[in-house]
Chains A and B, each alone.
Chain A
């Protein structure tokens, strides 16, 4: 009887292991905009990230900046009262709806597949757009502004 209980527990444990998703986000790159002058346009940089998930399924994405209260903002250590805000927009397929991410708020409607055996990512890729209103650059003292954006992926 005890052996039967142990066997059942082992089977249940194995089953639970098979169902637990494993995810990975990769393909990330730093974004360096260089010297930027104020203008009336919007600066946009696109990041093509890879999210793989085993087994395949839906996931949610949470973005957190290192501005005040996790805001998406770039700052200058020597003038930290000044910040340059930016937007984060995420999407997966051309023509599909893109989502304006809010800091710290999970956003769903994304999907991922298992990677190739060699670890390469399967489509769809995850596009992250960083948008900066260049007029904001004219409102801060000259200098180098930087920030860190954390992208958290979890099963939906």
Chain B
């Protein structure tokens, strides 16, 4: 009988520094224009002044918070159904208003199996079993969730209240959900304690 102790969700506080297309276009434009604040040394005189230019580029920053390890518990045998767990998370990015919405893509990958390095798999050291991953761009694992394919971006996710990353501490409220399910057919093949890591990558549009 399989005991799934914990599906560790990696990338707690993933800090994806991903320049948006808009930022890249701006940088590209700067490469072909002459708009720099040139330094000016002071001239000698009864008073003197000089100028310095200061520049920085703020890229788009996205962050997933609220990740928690998931314990699936102990399976009760055939007929007791699959083992499931879910967790509400917070997805946000810089430069977006507090209640604005934004689009993003999410990619999930697991520990892999032979032939598929991204496969959603749990292992007891000798045997692997697969599981399904679902994502909902709303809180809770409701009917609006979508099953994910390992390593393939789930597109057109909309973050309502797509949070404005204020200072990297905490999340105002959770606005998405990740859920997993280990089917009975897989559980029936296992024996012992299984664990694995699920990696999530957030890509703002």
Contact = CB atoms under 8 A, between A and B. Distances in A.
A binds B: yes
Interface of A: 20-40, 43, 47, 49, 51, 74, 78, 84, 86, 130, 132, 135, 137-155
B99 interface: no
A78 B34 CA distance: 16
A103 B47 CA distance: 18
B126 to A, nearest CB: 42
Contacts, number: 180
4 nearest A-B pairs in the assembled complex, by CB-CB distance:
A141-B95, A25-B42, A33-B56, A154-B47
A112 to B, nearest CB: 10
Contact of B48 (A138, A140, A142, A153): A153
Given A20-B46, A22-B46, A24-B42, A40 B56 contact: no
B54 interface: yes
Given A22-B46, A38-B94, A30 B57 contact: no
A153 B43 CA distance: 11
B54 A130 contact: yes
A32 B52 contact: no
A40 B54 contact: no
Interface-central residue, A43, A148, A154, by most chain B CB under 10 Å: A148
Nearest to A82: B95
Interface stretch (B112-120, B137-145, B159-167, B187-195): B159-167
21 contacts: A25-B42, A27-B41, A28-B52, A29-B39, A30-B52, A32-B54, A35-B57, A37-B17, A38-B61, A40-B168, A130-B54, A138-B165, A142-B57, A143-B23, A144-B30, A145-B55, A150-B50, A151-B42, A151-B51, A153-B48, A155-B47
A144 B51 CA distance: 19
